[in-house]
Amino acid sequence: MLKLVVPTPPNWVLGAIEHFDEILLDHAHCEKKAAGAAVKLLFAYPQHPHLQEPLSRLAREELGHYEEVLRHLAERDIEFRRQRPSPYGGKLHALVRPREPDRLLDLLLVAALIEARSCERLKLLSDALEDEELARFYRGLLAAEARHHQLYFDLACQSHPLTEVRSRLSELSRRESEILGEPAPFVRLHT
């Protein structure tokens, strides 16, 4: 598993369980965004054959997760609606360098970090949820999200030198933890 610089503090889980309806809604949006990010890469980089099939498969898997979360929302009578997103994704993407081949490397590593953090937080939720059905659902997602962050890292290694991948990853990983440490007025999967 990708090493995150700072682990999630225990009080995040308490807030997440307390506002679980909001977390579940945010989770639906996050799965859809994860699919969208992969599809965006397919459109932006048709010249990189190694990205095509793995990211297409990943996007389909994320949309499958999206549909599953929508079902859990419906079962709990939670209306699917727009929601103020966490600033996390936007702040991470602001770190992406504009010039190639740096841009591709950063996009892949930012995606890897988001997947790694999601994986860590889904695990915390699966341990803390008292609703056995939901806890099982979250445990089921863990393996997929762990695979996803590894995939993004592997794809980066196929197009960029390993030493460069490692040093940029540790830089972005440090920034990821700082961004997550900034106070947010609401609780989300990534706050």
Verify binding: residue 148, Fe ion, rule CB under 5 A: yes
Complex with Fe ion: residue 65 or 121, whichever CB lies closer? 65
Tokens of 109: 């590593």
Verify binding: residue 121, Fe ion, rule CB under 5 A: no
Verify binding: residue 176, Fe ion, rule CB under 5 A: no
Verify binding: residue 26, Fe ion, rule CB under 5 A: no
Verify binding: residue 145, Fe ion, rule CB under 5 A: yes
Tokens 């682990």 -> residue: 7
Find the part of the chain contacting Fe ion (CB under 5 A) among 45-53, 99-107, 143-151, 163-171. Answer: 143-151
- Shortest Å distance, C-beta 120 to Fe ion: 12
Complex with Fe ion: residue 102 or 124, whichever CB lies closer? 124
Tell me which residues in 78-117 interact with Fe ion (CB under 5 A): 115
Find the part of the chain contacting Fe ion (CB under 5 A) among 3-11, 55-63, 122-130, 166-174. Answer: 55-63
Verify binding: residue 27, Fe ion, rule CB under 5 A: no
